[in-house]
Structure 1
């Protein structure tokens, strides 16, 4: 049995149950969710835009949902790929939750969607603790963030199925130590793959898409040990129970108080902005308009 760490466990347990149901439902219809986590400014949106363009070129039915505290900037950018894109404004909440994702997918996600990329709120603390029903969790870090990022945010990196390094084209300029970064990742998440990418130079183009497709086709994912109940480890379960609020990185985030509001009715009012609303300004091949759920 997992020992109760704090009062947030009840909230997380409810989220885990919702995530389990969501994952099962999406898997049954043939949709695989990829949850992308990173700090602000890591290049997450740029990488995702490139992967969506490649998916469209290959004729793969994909979609993207992007979450932010404010602005539609990321969704406007991703809509240029021509795939279905939806913006979720979290109204100050520093992370997505499974119930929020489930609600925003209803009536929007095309039936034939094979991959759904979820661009989580830019934050390596709050989102790390919430399972969204994803089958592939990807944590990104740019070379400008420093080699010790995995040690500063062990929950986020420790629960990743895949780690992606971005902006490698400027690695020399910022004196990024790849070997040290890999060693730190290995320290918190032994055996997880580290993928190097540069959107500007095309390094790693399509590799995230390929790995997501492999998972959709039934390939096993890396099973992180951190945060899992000992009972699950003993039984060989690969699903991660994310109960990490007592970790050192939990107290470092200024928006921590939002966790106490999880499930508050105000959170259910987060704006969602689907592509293609006729009343919104045009943005490339798609457009969005604020609506209230």
Structure 2
């Protein structure tokens, strides 16, 4: 159980390699005294842990853990892993339907001759978005969180073992669609990117300030729809700057390509 944000336990987490269709998932044991133990295994490996069972059985366990501290430790390890391989890792966050996957596929297709981009896809269920990424020819791993509402550093560590991105490349991490919990969990990324579509309302930075305050980049998507909407771009930018004066903002349309050159220039300069 994630006591920080209230999401479910890790028993439903599943990591799928889209190239091999091999899946790793968590397995849960419930002991007679009600203690729950979770460990992971792949389709051909089931690691029993009798010593853990013996240690925990008939023992009182405090379930209150500093989840963020543990996550931050793993995130620091991930960050070192990325740095040692000169990999630019970005954590893409947004509400559902803001256009993360569409922006990702357009970015990969437009830059495939210049940058090697691998993707970690996060969703509660299905591999639908990962399949779209796979069609671009990019390496992709799907992480399904079950009832969980965000990715964490441990999931990224496990996903990277299967993704195996090349040196001097980019790893895009598409987080679960949610404007709250993903902002709390460092994944080891170099930068957080919050994506906001013009169909959502210009006051989102004020309603969900933490994610905008935690982000380095804000990408305003679907700007091709502005003629059909009552969305005040300038107010949205002002609200974002009010919450985070240092945030860098790009206005783009993944459909028409408008504004993408600035986003691409930032990517190339950041690697």
Q: Which category of TM-score, normalised to the shorter sequence, fits these structures?
A: 0.7 to 0.9
Aligned equivalent of 2:198: 143
- For 1:210 and 1:8, locate their aligned partners in 2 and report how far apart those are by CA, in whole Å: 45
SS in 1 for 2:89: strand
Matched, 1:89 2:144: yes
Instruction: Give yes or no for contact 2:92–2:193 (8 Å, CA) kept in 1.
Output: yes
Distance in structure 1 (CA, Å) of the matches to 2:108 and 2:257: 14
Residue 105 of structure 2 corresponds to residue 53 of structure 1: no
Q: Give yes or no for the alignment of 1:208 onto 2:259.
A: no
In the other structure, the counterpart of 1:70 is: 125
The count of residues paired between Structure 1 and Structure 2 equals: 209
Aligned to 1:43: 99
Taking the aligned partners of 2:239 and 2:213, their CA distance within structure 1 comes to 10
Asked if structure 1 preserves the Cα contact closer than 8 Å seen for 2:193 and 2:217, the reply is yes
User: Does 2:89 correspond to 1:33?
Assistant: yes
Root-mean-square deviation (CA, aligned residues, Å) is: 1.6
Structure 1 residue 193: Cα displacement: 1.4
Equivalent-residue separation in structure 2 for 1:8 and 1:170 (angstroms): 47
Identify the residue that residue 129 of structure 1 maps to in structure 2: 184
Q: How does 1:122-271 map to 2 (within 5 A)?
A: 122-216=177-271
Shift in CA distance, 177/8, structure 1 to aligned 2, threshold 3 Å: farther
2:163 counterpart of 1:108: yes
Partners in 2 of 1:165 and 1:110 — Cα distance? 28
Secondary structure of the equivalent of 1:34?
A: strand
CA distance in 2, matches of 1:113, 1:191: 27
Q: How far did 1:207 drift?
A: 3.4
Q: Distance in 1 between matches of 2:193 and 2:184?
A: 14
Q: Higher Cα Rg: structure 1 or 2?
A: 2
Residue 31 of structure 1: how far off its partner (Å): 1.1
Query: Structure 2: where are the runs of 5+ without partners?
Result: 1-62
Change (3 A) 1:46 1:202: same
| Secondary structure of the corresponding residue to residue 112 of structure 2 | helix
Which ranges in structure 1 are unaligned for 5 or more consecutive residues?
A: 1-6, 217-293
Match for residue 11 of structure 1?
67
Q: Distance in 2 between matches of 1:51 and 1:200?
A: 11
CA positional deviation for 1:91: 1.5
1:35–1:120 Cα contact (<8 Å) kept:
yes
Residue of structure 1 equivalent to 2:30: none
* 1:92-120 CA-partner distances (Å, limit 9, x unpaired): 11000001100111143233351000000
Q: Distance in 1 between matches of 2:127 and 2:94?
A: 18
Asked if 2 retains the 8 angstrom alpha-carbon contact of 1:63 and 1:113, the reply is: no
Distance 2:192 2:261 in 1: 17
| 2:142 match: secondary structure | strand
Task: Tell me what 1:274 maps to.
Answer: none
**C-alpha contact 2:143 2:155 (8 A) present in aligned 1:** no
TM-score norm. by structure 1 comes to: 0.68
Q: Give the drift of 1:206.
A: 4.4
